[in-house]
Structure 1
């Protein structure tokens, strides 16, 4: 019987010796972070192939550096919904660009907010980012704080240890509502994003000012309050999700009524909701903006919409890059403060003077 051959684990040192280079040069080839002549790099890669060397052990590297090389990016609910939202995708893209430049990877985590499961318990991460404004509180924050992991947010969770990129949500939404008032609109309505993680099942519904004040989601609450600052008697409808279908359902609820009761201006908390409202209006034979004016929020690219929305311009990619920049500063040992992120009203063709 032929005895089994005893093999030992191939190391970077073995690869460097076979290629005739120093260990540091071989390391630069695998990390891609330093200038190495093409011929030398090819020699190192060939040596690795000959020896069946897959590359440096990332766990060992993390132990040496005291870093995992990963940043937790926490998204509420199912990731599917975030990937269907063009604004969320733009924010994640900007964040990914900044983290990639730092040599950091993104660990996408879905936080269901049940307080029972902890998706981060088994993962080593260098920092955590909550890139999309969600619940005011998160059970993950206490866990991260206990591990002394830096945390960056976009207005939520509300915690003294979280450094935020801040948008003046209330003032911005008030600007959109005021634009309609300045155009002569007196009957205004507002379509909100979900006010809580588990909105009541069923179609969109009207909500009271009291429900808004108690909303769990800070961005939806502040935008609704901004609308009420300008239109205190306006009707408010809550959508169960910030997408086109929910916007269309909310639009029908508001517009499929006698003309004397119908709002002439609708302020939506997202561009997708606004697009749904426009679909509802046009399906009911109403003209936008002649019969009904509509505003959105975010200024995402909607090439399939036959309108240019009047909306609050909030550049998602730039916001994501700012979140990444704050993450970099925290990891460098700095102590940055909450950073404002300015947004502006962008005029489009979905608003016009109120019909007579």
Structure 2
């Protein structure tokens, strides 16, 4: 019986031999990671086309290097919510730029309260990044630590194994609050991001805040209360404009003597919602009520330049990527402080007289 003749797989060496170049030169043509004369590159590509060679096998390459070439990027809750948040997008953009420069792909995943701890078990990854603030604990961490995978975060999860980009959330929130106090405000209020499982926007007390599971929201709330102990605090269901407006109405649609003259919000989107609530109630910003935000994102549709705590999202994402690069290179990078600053806009002023 005649057996069918088996065709040997074309290799990079075959292409190099056909083009009359070294295998290393042919490799540079396909990787794009080194200078090769245009005529030589054209000759290599022509030889590859003649032989039907599609390029190096990425799986084989990753196995030789002991790497998958993929980093898991894990965001809190639904991806839809992250993509609606302009600050989250800038962080992810900066991170994507850094990972791209490393030749690393991004596996984007959502991490929510009921995520199974084995949701990454079937994925080959080199590192995992938690680029947005989230819960103190993640069910994924134990699994990732057991696999020896480097972990990088932006303040959460709170584990010794995670290398963090660190922001002084407490101090940043206190600086915004001090700004209003220095302007003469005595009736102050705070609008927080969710502190735990989402609930309808509602008033909370200090005792409700201390044991909550979102470190960034908790520390910003405590920074406010340590500066303005008598201030009111409203926890929102989501950190968006709609819930900011709900919170604003809850605080401002009251008798004038009970109304705060200054509101410190934990995000620019929440602050924009408070501004909208004030305007819908016939109040002027900042003449009747001052409002501050957090993040420093571009809100061209808001007819005001927010006074806000600026944390450059793209730079933060790039730093997360750089820490990941160093960890994968065998270094032991330490958690790194990330500077934020208060930017005074036109939504704050001294309180109204009387």
For residues 305-329 of structure 1, give each alpha carbon's deviation from its aligned partner in whole angstroms, at most 9, with x where no partner exists.
1111100011111111111111111
Query: Does structure 1 residue 307 correspond to structure 2 residue 304?
Result: yes
Cα drift, residue 4 of structure 1: 7.5
Q: Give the CA deviation at 1:104.
A: 1.5
Query: What's 1:179 paired with?
Result: 179
| Conserved 8 A contact 1:265-1:292 | yes
Change in 2 beyond 3 A, CA 1:209/1:51: same
What's the offset of the Cα at 1:46?
A: 2.6
Question: Aligned pair 1:199/2:198, yes or no?
Answer: yes
Give 1:231's aligned residue. Answer: 228
How big is the shift at 1:154? Answer: 0.8
CA distance in 2 between counterparts of 1:55 and 1:281 reads 61
Q: 2:266 aligns with which of 250, 265, 269?
A: 269
Match of 2:102 in 1: 102
Cα deviation code 1:7-26 (max 9, x no counterpart): 44332223223323222111
Partner secondary structure for residue 140 of structure 2: helix
Is 1:213–2:207 an aligned residue pair? no
Which stretch has the larger CA shift, 44-53 or 300-309?
Answer: 44-53
CA shift for structure 1 position 37:
0.8
CA contact (8 A) 2:293 2:309 kept: yes
- Counterpart among 287, 290, 296 of residue 287 in structure 2: 290
Is the alpha carbon distance of 1:279 and 1:50 closer, same or farther for their aligned partners in structure 2, counting shifts above 3 Å? farther
- Give the 3-state SS of the residue equivalent to 1:288 in structure 2: coil
The question of 1:323 aligning with 2:323 is answered no
- Partner of residue 59, structure 1: 59
Q: Distance in 2 between matches of 1:247 and 1:326?
A: 34
Partner SS state of residue 287, structure 1: coil
SS of the aligned residue for 1:170 comes to helix
> Does 2:118 match 1:121?
no
**Who is 2:149 aligned against?**
149
Deviation digits for residues 189-238 of structure 1 (CA, Å, limit 9, x no counterpart): 11000111x222x3x11112112111100000000000001111111111
Contact 2:190 2:263 in 1 (8 A): yes
Question: Does structure 1 residue 48 correspond to structure 2 residue 48?
Answer: yes
What is the CA–CA distance in structure 2 between the aligned matches of 1:80 and 1:47, rounded to whole Å? 46
Counterparts of 2:65 and 2:30 in 1: how far apart (Å)? 16
User: How far, CA to CA, are the matches of 1:4 and 1:249 in structure 2?
Assistant: 74
Q: What does the per-residue CA deviation read over 1:220-263, in whole Å, with 9 as the maximum and x for residues that have no partner?
A: 00000000011111111111111111111111111112222111
How far apart, in 2, do the equivalents of 1:184 and 1:176 lie? 13
Contact 2:133 2:155 in 1 (8 A): yes
Which residue of the partner structure matches residue 250 of structure 1? 247
Structure 1 residue ranges, 4+ long, deviating more than 4 angstroms after superposition: 3-6
Give the distance between the partners of 1:194 and 1:110, measured in 2 at CA: 17
| Cα separation, 1, equivalents of 2:210 and 2:42 | 63
Q: Could you tell me which runs of 5 or more consecutive residues in structure 1 were left unpaired when the two chains were aligned.
A: none
Q: Find the aligned partners of 2:246 and 2:9 in 1 and give their Cα distance.
A: 62
Structure 1 length normalisation: TM-score?
0.95
Give the structure-2-normalised TM-score.
0.95
- C-alpha RMSD of matched pairs (Å): 1.5
